[in-house]
Each structure stands twice: as structure tokens, then as C-alpha cells.
A and B are shown apart, each in its own frame.
Chain A
Amino acid sequence: MSTPLISVVDDDASVRAATENLLKSRGYIVQTFTSAEEFLRSPRLKETSCVITDVQMPVMSGLDLLAEMRTRGHGVPFIFITAFPNDRVRASALSAGAVGFLAKPFAGHALIEHLDAALKENRNGGCT
């Protein structure tokens, strides 16, 4: 089983770097993007096993990215993290098919748990 590729999209450099650092320390392969648009342009878009994205970003939000990916026919699991956690965003994120919704700051293990769940789902989904 090859190591899954995790894509991290966040416009905040330090959060992006920290998330990448966390995941790498757990042995994941991580690629980071500063915006949804950059991620969409990524050549390894299809190899991504999970997308961890910030909700609030200029131009294209995390939710928009999810919608776009689904539109493009990608069923890759999404984990949302936000600094502005509110029920409305949470509800719309989950309804859009997000695996996890984390409020910044979040505990590392919470992300890993959500990630593990997402990867399992992806693996299952991938299998189906």
C-alpha cells in the first residue's frame, strides 16, 4: 500500500506549514497549496487521497473548492478547518460531503483521526 498523498490548502503560510509538518511527522506525504485555484491547477490532483482545506480564503473558499471537485467528478474526501467555526458553515460543509470539520486551533490527534477516517473511506470508496 502506497503512502497516501495529502493536499493541504490554506492561505495562511504558517498554518499551512504547521499542518504539513504535523502530517509529515506522522509519515504522510503532503503537498501544500496557497489557494484553491492553485490546487485545482495541480497535476497531481487525482493522486490526492485527502484534501485538508481552510474554509475562509480569498476568491475561492474551501466550500467552493469542494463543490468544484465534486463537479469535476472527484470524490476525494475533504477535511475543513476554520478559524470561524459556526454552525452554518459546519452544516453546509458536512452536507457537502466533508469528512471532518475542525476549528482552529485544533489538536493534532483530532486531525489525524479525521484523516485516518477519511483515508479509510477513500480507500473503501476507491475500492468500490
Chain B
Amino acid sequence: MRSQISSLKVSAPQFTFGSITLAVVTLACLYLHAQFAATAFAYLLVVLLFSLMGSLIASSALCVVAILALAYYFAPPAFSLRIDDPQDLPVVVAFFIVSIIGTHLIGKVRQESQAARDAAAKLRISAADLEDREKRWQAIFEHNPAMYVMVDEAGTVLNTNTFGAAQLGYARSELIGHSILGVFLEEDRELARECIRACLEDIGQSRTWEARKVRNDGSVLWVRENAKAMLWADDRPIVLISCEDITERKRTEFALQRSEAHLAQAQELSNTGSFGWNVLTGEVFWSKETFRIFELDPQTVPSPHLVVERTHPDDRASVQEVIDRAMRDPKDFEHEYRLLLPDGSVKHIHALARATRTASGDIEFVGAATDVTAERQAEQKLRRSEAYLAEAQHLSHTGSWSWDVHGLDFVYRSAEVDRLFEFDPQETVSIETIRSRIHPDDLPGLQEVQRQAIELKQDRFEYHFRILLKDGGIRRIHAVAHIVLGNDGRVSELIGTHMDVTEQYAARERLENTLAALRESEQRFRDYAETASDWLWETGPDHQVTRLSEHTSTAGILATGLMGLLRWDIACDVEEEPEKWQEHRATLEAHLPFRDLVYRTVNRTGCPIYVRTSGKPFFDTNGKFLGYRGVSTDITAIIRADQAEQQLRKAQAELAHVTRVTTLGELTTSIAHEINQPLAAIISNADACLGWMGRETPDLSAARSSVEWIIEDAIRASEVIRRVRALAKKGAIEMVPLDINEVVRDVIALVTRELVSHQVALRTELTAALPTILGDRIQLQQVIINLVMNGIEAMDAIRDRKRELLIQSSMDDMGHVQVAVTDWGVGIAENDADRVLEPFFTTKSSGLGMGLSICRSIVEAHGGRLSVVRKQEPGVTFQFALPLHEEIAL
């Protein structure tokens, strides 16, 4: 463009001045009438002359103008552009060719000379420039606030700038010619050497490293070195190093690194991860801790979607909503949710984010996500333990409270306190309300205790009081409290518990009563124990005596020196009762408990004593048999009593027998009669039989009848004898089921004659089908005979009225079988009524007076009772009732 403009600048004057010169030449030639060829020559000179001005275009234009002028003016026909003369045409062509070639050649020469001029001028300028530039570069090299060093292959400093040297506290001359490595910190020298070597290996490739250098004054400088090797003159490689002081940056970097490390550690320690979220770009940044909390690989690309994915299904909707809202309306947000981790565990996350605007104007959320699982679990535990506490308080009827001493109000009161006082949990409770609930008798005492506690700053105090219940009842409270000191050192609060002790109180009262009774009983038992003949013993695994309770020896019951003996060595009845001991030893060998083993031994004075002992084996925790423990009692007295009782019973039985025999003796006449009667009949019938047979015509029929009667009477006689023998028998008591009516009938058979001989009429009222009783037939017969005989005797003296004896059997009100024998005799004097059944009581001149007493013993031995009923009419009724035979009673 520029060449065109410059060419235009040259062409215009060239063409203008050329045209003018051509016009002048034309005029001159016209004037001179110069020949066509001469004119052409003159034109050629003009064109060539002006071509010296340099423009080919202008020269070409002049050439065309010259040809036109030649054709117009000088070629016939004149003043026409036609050239008719064929001679002129080669002139014109030659003119054109010569002028173009000439112009071109002149132009060429001109260009070359111009170029040579230009080059010379440039050379001049560049030489000055170079000098100037060198000065400038030198200044830059010297004064650039960067260190420059040039080293050779060996690391020797070839050059350095003043700044660089000064930076290290040296003069340039102090460094040049020395190894560059000398200025590096010893630890970094190897690095520097290595880097320089690497540069040299790969010439032209620049390298950067950071290392420490030591200043002349010993201080350390962090530098960032940029180095590149190049070939110097004579192809010797050198290394150019520029150094930048990055001490400050390094320090900042370290500080940043440190604070980053601190932050990471703080995040880890606080279980808090941080995150950034650019809503617009969707870019999300998570800190390492965030990844750890979410248990995701730090390589994972985080996103809000990932958060939702990790969220517990129950919380996903709410998290999604928070994210959606944040995207719609970028405002700070805070939420809590749970994570469901791949291993099934759950984490509680508390996330807090702040909406910030980035430099580019985007909204970015920066926040923290804290793993609050531990807190939530603790809270849950706390809530649970609070629930437990409430439950425990409820169950134990214990309420806890805290009382503001100055504000006179509860700072805290547990639900149980409300229940105890019957407060509405919702309402605040005024001190008047509280006071109104407390028993008026207890209020002053309670207030005094609290006042003292506050005044004396008692750490702990207790008191009792009663609560008046709405239903009129009383609740007893035991309170335990302590004081809380405020900042001013004065008591600010009372903290305590109220325990409902109503039941305990009642229980204590009961207990106290029981205890009193127990103490009394204990004293009683102690008295017993001290006077008792019991003693405790222990035997070892070999059944030898290892221990005896102490009072045994002091009481003098046992012989001394029993320790180490076997029980059967102590006993004196082993030979008498081998079976008993055999059995006992078998029990011991089987380690079984035994009870009430009775044996005979001797006491300290050598008198025989009876001992009753019971024992139980004992074992160690492994079940190993250790021996027996038990208690023994001296039952000599009991045995004696027992023996006495046995003897008594024997005597009684004997007496009963004797009495029976005596009775039989008394009845002898009657009995003899009873036997004599059939005997008499037998003899008579026998004689009659003989008579019937001795007739002339023996009456065999009558004889047979006689013999039949004989047999009947013989049976009757033998029956009497049987009854008598039974009564006289001295046999063991036989308890068998009996029909009492049968017993009565047996008796009647024996006493009929006696009744007859005493002219006593017998009447019987025997109730049919009575249940059977269990008894000894003979003894019961004896009782009835006795009563009948007594009745007969009682009526002996009666002359003025009928002598009658009534025997009745019946069921009494108690369902017992009852037998009554009633006479209409002399009766019993009122004074004697109570004694009539006692032994040796008698109103008779003869007799021992044992009859009724034995009857009573017999009846009682049958579980029955013999009684006397005095009647309004003369006479007396003796009756006895017997329990039914159990099997039938059932």
C-alpha cells in the first residue's frame, strides 16, 4: 500500500513534468519542423530523462503520450492519429521498445543505487542503536531487581549482576570465578547441581526450581531459579540463571500450608467437613473431611445429587427440598439429616451454609457439614436416661427439685414432685401454694431447717414433713437437699429430693411392732435355748464329731471327749438295735439328711440318756461332701414320759381287763344261769328222747324233735361261752368297723339274766341302719355292760316304781353314733355329777370305782366322749358318742 502511495507520489510529478517537457519539445520541433525521426529521438531522450525519476508507470505513460504526439503531430497525416506512412511505423515501434527498455534499465540502476544508499544509512543507524541498546541492556542487567548469574559447565560463576550479588550480601567480584553451589544452603546444593546438570543436558530448555541460599550474613534466602543452558562463543555451553527472591512467598506458603493442615486437622477433630457449591456452574468442592464423613473416596466428584444419594431414605425428601430451595433462592441455609452408609450404619449430619458472591458475581454456598452422630446419640441417651430417671422417680416415689432461694420459686421440679404435691405440671407454683400443701405442724420446722441450712451453708440436710392431700389423706415426705452457692458466695439455690415415705413409714410402724414382738419372742427363745437341752453338732467327711455347741458341755449333758468319735461309738444301743444303726450308717454314706434318730448314750455322770438327733449333709461350692450339721436333743424325759405313758396304757388295759373280768365275776350268776338254761333243756330233751325211744312203740318223731332241740340248746350255750370268753380275753385292741347295734345286742344277751334277776325290764330303741364306727368290739361291750350294770344297781333299791332300763342308739347332731343307757334309779347327787366319771369315785360300798373311769378312757381312746345327763325325772342317762368309721363317713 505504502509503495503504491510512494510510487504515486513519484509518478505524478514525473508524468506532469515529463508531459510539460514533451509539450516544449513538440513545440520546438514544430517550430523547427524537425523530422519525424529527430522528433522521435528528442522524445526518446525526454522519456529516458524522466524515467530517471524512478516511476515505470509514469515513464510508460510518457512513452504513450510521446507516441501519440508523434502520430498526431509528426506522422503524415498531421493532426491525425493515423500513421499512413509505413516508414514511420517501424520508427514508432522502435521508439516504443527503446523507451520501455531504456526506462526499465534506468529504473533498475536507480533502484540499486537507492538500495545501496539505504543500506549505508541503515548501517549507520544500527551501529548507534546497538551501542545504545547495549548500554540499556547493561543497565537492565545491572539494575533489574532479579538476580542473574551465568555459570559455566563446572558451575563457576562467569558473571552476575550487582543486584544479585548485593542480594546475597556480596560484591560481584566476590562471586565471579567461584562455584555457584557455594551460595546454596548445604541441603539444597545437590538439588542445584542436579538442576544445572539437567539444563546442560538439554540445551535451550529452561528449568525452574526453588532452593535456599545463604547470605553473607548467614541468613537464608528462598529463591526461585529459572535456568537455561545456551552455547556461548566457541560453542562452549553456559547456563543462565535468573533468581527471584521468594522468601516472602515461601513464608506465606508455609503459613498457608500450616493453616491448611490445621484446618484439615480441625475439621477432622471436629468431625466437620467444609464444602463449596457454585449454584450456577454446579461446581462443588468438598474438603477431605467431608469425603471422610460421607465415607466416599476423595477422588469422587462431589455433587448435591451425591449428598441426596447418601442420605437416609427417610430424610431424602427434606434434603432435596433444601437443595432445591437453595437453587431457587440463594440464601443461607442450615439443616440436619441422616446418612445411610453402605455398611448400614447411620450418621447424623448438621450442615450449615452461607451464600456468598464470587468475584465473578456468581452465588456460591460455602458451608460446613458436621458429623453430630455422637451428639445425637448422646442426646438420645440423655433423653432415654431422662425418661429412665423420670420412671425411676415415679417408681421410687422420689421427686427432684431445685429451689431459687432469692426468687422463691422452683428453678426445676421433676414430674414426680408435681405428683407428690398434687401440683398441676403446667402452672407455676407460688410459695403460698406450697405452704398450703404442707401440714401446718410441719411447716415451721421445715422452714427452720432450710433457714439454718442457708445461713450455715450446710452442704447437706434432711427433713421430714407431711403433705396434705386433696382427698384428705397424708403423704409423708423425706427430703434430702444441699445448697448451691452463687457467684457472690451466698446460697443461691437448694437442690434436693423428695421421697414419698408414706408406705415405708407405715411399714416401719408395722416393723417396729413386729420387732417388739420379735424381741420378745427372741428373748423367749433365748430363754428356751439357754434352758433347752438342744445342742448343735458337726461331723466331718468321716462322720467323726468335729464340733459341738458350747453350752452342751457347760450344761453337762454330754460326756466329755466326744470330739473325733463316731456317733455309733457314742451310742450305747448299737448292739440292741443293729438294724437301726445299719440303716443310719447307710443314710450317712448316701449323704442324705436324716431326722429324729433316737439313741441311747450316757451323760457326763454316766447316767443313761436318750438323744434325738437330726442332721443334714453340707457340701462345698464344688459339691464336695464336707460332713453333716445338725441338732440333738436330750429326750430322756420324753422317752421316760413315753415309757410311763405306755406303762399307763398297759395298766389301763390291764385294769380294763381286770374290770371286765370282775364284771364277769359279778355276772357269773347270770352267766351260769344262761349256760344252765340250755344245759337243763339239753338234759331234759335227752331224757325225753330216751323216753320216746323207750316206749313200747318208740315215738321216733318225738325223739328226733328232742334231739333237734338238744342241738339248738347246745348252740345257745356255746354262744354264751363264746361271749364270756371274748370278754375275759386279754387281747390286743382291735379296731374294726362295727355296727353298734350288734354290739348292743351282744351285751343284752349277756345281761338279760342279770336284768331278770334284778327284776329290771329292758327296753331298747335301736335306730336301724346306723353307719359303722371303728372300734374294739370287746371294749365297747365292756362300756355298755358297765353302764347297764350301773343302771341295774341304781334301781336295786327302787321298790315303789317299775324298774326299767332303756338302751338307745342314734345319730347325734354332730353326725356321730350315740349310745345312751337310761335308768330310773336313785340318780346322782348334784355334787357328784362332775366326779362320777373320775377314777376311784364310787357310791357303792364295794368296788374300786374304776368302772366309769375306765369307760371314759375307752370311749376317749375311740375318739369319743362319755357324758352324764341328769334328768328331771328320777334316774340318770349315760351316753357316749363315737365318730364314724372314716371310710364310710367319706
Q: List chain A positions with a Cβ less than 8 A from chain B.
A: 11-12, 14-15, 17-19, 21-26, 56-59, 81, 83-84, 103-109, 111
Tell me the smallest distance from the CB of B760 to a CB of chain A, in Å: 9
Judging by beta carbons under 8 Å apart, are A14 and B699 in contact?
no
Q: Which of A12, A22, A57 contacts B677 (CB 8 A)?
A: A12
Q: Once the chains bind, are B689 and A14 in contact (CB under 8 Å)?
A: no
B558 to chain A, nearest CB (A): 68
Shortest Cβ gap from B835 to chain A (Å):
34
Let me know if A25 and B683 touch, CB within 8 A: no
Count chain A CB atoms within 10 A of each CB in B681, B686, B713 and give the residue with the most. B681
In this assembly, does B688 line the interface, its C-beta being within 8 Å of a C-beta of chain A? yes
Q: Besides A17-B681, A22-B684, A81-B680, 10 other CB < 8 A contacts?
A: A18-B688, A21-B684, A21-B702, A22-B687, A56-B756, A84-B672, A84-B673, A104-B679, A108-B683, A109-B687
Q: Which of A14, A56, A59, A83 contacts B713 (CB 8 A)?
A: A14
**B691→A26 contact, CB < 8 A:** yes
CB of A81, distance to nearest CB on chain B (Å): 7
A83 touches B673 (CB 8 A): yes
Count of chain A to chain B residue pairs whose CB atoms are closer than 8 Å in the complex: 99
Q: Which of B680, B695, B709 contacts A83 (CB 8 A)?
A: B680
B685 within 8 A of A: yes
- Measured between beta carbons, the chain A residues less than 8 angstroms from B684 are 15, 18-19, 21-22, 105-106, 108, 111
For A109, the chain B residues whose CB sits under 8 A away are 687
Chain A residues in 8 Å Cβ range of B181: none
Residue B337 at the chain A interface, CB threshold 8 Å: no
C-alpha gap A7/B673 in the complex (Å): 22
B111 within 8 Å of A (CB atoms): no
- Nearest neighbor of A23 in chain B, beta-carbon distance: B688
A22 touches B680 (CB 8 A): no
A84 & B669 in contact (Cβ 8 Å cutoff): yes
A22 touches B688 (CB 8 A): yes
Q: Which residues of B contact A (CB under 8 A)?
A: 669, 672-673, 676-692, 695, 699, 702, 705-706, 709, 712-713, 716, 753, 756-757, 759, 761
A31 to B692, CA, bound (A): 18
Question: Could you tell me if A105 and B676 are in contact, using CB atoms closer than 8 angstroms?
Answer: yes
Task: Identify B756's interface contact among A25, A58, A104, A106, CB under 8 A.
Answer: A58
User: Given A22-B688, A104-B676, A104-B677, is A58 in contact with B683 using a C-beta cutoff of 8 Å?
Assistant: no
* B685–A21 CB distance below 8 A: yes
Known: A105-B680, A108-B683. A84 touches B688 (CB 8 A): no
Known: A21-B685, A58-B759. A108 touches B690 (CB 8 A): yes
Contact partner of B705 (CB less than 8 A), chosen from A21, A81, A104, is A21
On whether the beta carbons of B757 and A22 are closer than 8 Å, the reply is: no
Taking CB atoms, residues of chain B closer than 8 Å to A84 are 669, 672-673, 757
Chain A residues in 8 Å Cβ range of B709:
14, 17-18, 21
A sample of 30 cross-chain residue pairs with beta-carbon separation below 8 angstroms, ordered by A number, consists of A14-B677, A14-B713, A14-B716, A15-B681, A18-B682, A18-B684, A18-B688, A18-B709, A19-B684, A21-B688, A21-B705, A21-B709, A22-B687, A24-B702, A25-B688, A58-B761, A81-B680, A83-B673, A83-B676, A83-B677, A84-B672, A84-B757, A104-B673, A104-B676, A105-B676, A105-B683, A106-B683, A107-B683, A108-B684, A108-B690
Q: Which of B681, B687, B716 meets A107, CB within 8 Å?
A: B687
The reply to whether A56 and B688 contact each other, CB–CB distance below 8 Å, is: no
Question: How far, in whole Å, are A23 and B706 apart by their CA atoms in the complex?
Answer: 12
Q: Which residues of B contact A56 (CB under 8 A)?
A: 673, 756-757
How far is it, in angstroms, between the C-alpha of A98 and the C-alpha of B706 when the chains are bound? 28
Rounded to whole Å, the gap between the CB of B394 and the closest CB of chain A is: 95
Within the complex, what minimum Cβ distance (angstroms) separates B21 from chain A? 224
CA distance A108 to B706 in the complex (A): 13
Question: What is the chain B residue whose CB lies nearest that of A59?
Answer: B759
Task: For the complex formed, measure the closest distance between the CB of B14 and the CB atoms of chain A, giving whole angstroms.
Answer: 214
Which 5 pairs from chain A and chain B are nearest by CB?
A108-B687, A25-B691, A18-B684, A104-B680, A18-B681
Chain A residues within an 8 Å CB radius of B761: 58
Asked if A11 contacts B691 (CB within 8 A), the reply is no
Chain A residue, CB-CB nearest to B702: A25
Which residues of A sit under 8 angstroms from B716, Cβ to Cβ?
14
A81 to B688, CA, bound (A): 17
How far is B712's CA from A26's CA once the two chains are assembled, in angstroms? 22
Query: Does the CB pair A22–B673 fall under 8 Å?
Result: no
- B contact residues around A83 at 8 Å (CB): 672-673, 676-677, 680, 753
Choice from A17, A22, A57, A81 contacting B691 with Cβ under 8 Å: A22
CB distance from B612 to the nearest CB of A (A): 59
**Known A14-B716, A22-B691: A105·B679 in contact at CB below 8 Å:** yes
Residues in B neighbouring A103, C-beta threshold 8 A: 676
A14 surroundings in chain B (CB, below 8 A): 677-678, 681, 709, 712-713, 716
State the CA gap A56–B755 with chains docked (Å). Answer: 11
Do A106 and B691 touch across chains, with their CB atoms under 8 A apart?
no
Q: What's the minimum C-beta distance from A108 to chain B, rounded to whole angstroms? A: 2
A18 with B685, Cβ < 8 A, contacts A58-B761, A108-B691 known: yes
Would you give the shortest CB distance from B321 to chain A, in whole angstroms?
A: 128
Task: Tell me which residues across on chain B come within 8 A of A22, comparing CB atoms.
Answer: 684-685, 687-688, 691
The residue among B678, B685, B712, B759 with the most chain A CB atoms within 10 A of its own CB is: B685
Give the docked Cα–Cα distance between A59 and B691 (Å): 34
Docked Cα-Cα span, A113 to B678, in Å, equals 22
Closest to B694 in A: A25
Residue of A nearest to B713 (CB): A14
The distance in angstroms between the C-alpha atoms of A105 and B714, with both chains bound, is: 13
A12: chain B residues within 8 A (beta carbon): 677, 681
* Residues of the B chain whose Cβ atoms lie less than 8 Å from the Cβ of A105: 676, 679-684
B852 to chain A, nearest CB (A): 27
Cβ A106 vs Cβ B688 within 8 A: no
Nearest B-chain residue to A57, judged by Cβ: B756
Selected from B682, B706, B713, the residue in CB contact (under 8 A) with A25 is B706
| Residues from chain B with Cβ under 8 Å of A111 in the complex | 684, 687
On chain B, the residues within 8 Å of A59 by CB distance are 759
Measured CA separation A64–B14 after assembly (Å): 228
Are A106 and B702 in contact (CB-based, < 8 A)?
A: no
Whether A25 contacts B677 by the Cβ 8 Å rule is: no
Complex CA–CA separation, A106 to B681 (angstroms): 9
- On chain A, the residues within 8 Å of B695 by CB distance are 25
CA distance A24 to B672 in the complex (A): 27
Complex CA distance for A76 and B370, rounded to whole angstroms:
151
A80 to B: closest C-beta gap in Å: 13
CB neighbours (8 Å) of B702 from chain A are 21, 24-25
Hey, which chain B residues are within 8 Å of A19, CB to CB? 684
B664 to chain A, nearest CB (A): 16
Which residues in B have their C-beta under 8 angstroms from that of A24?
688, 702
Task: Quote the shortest CB–CB distance from A73 to chain B (angstroms).
Answer: 27
Q: In the assembly, what is the distance between CA of A81 and CA of B683, in Å?
A: 13
Chain B residues within 8 Å of A15, by CB: 677, 680-681, 684
Residues of B near A25 (CB, < 8 A) are 687-692, 695, 699, 702, 706
Q: Are B756 and A11 in contact (CB under 8 A)?
A: yes
Q: Whole-angstrom distance between the alpha carbons of A24 and B706 in the complex?
A: 11
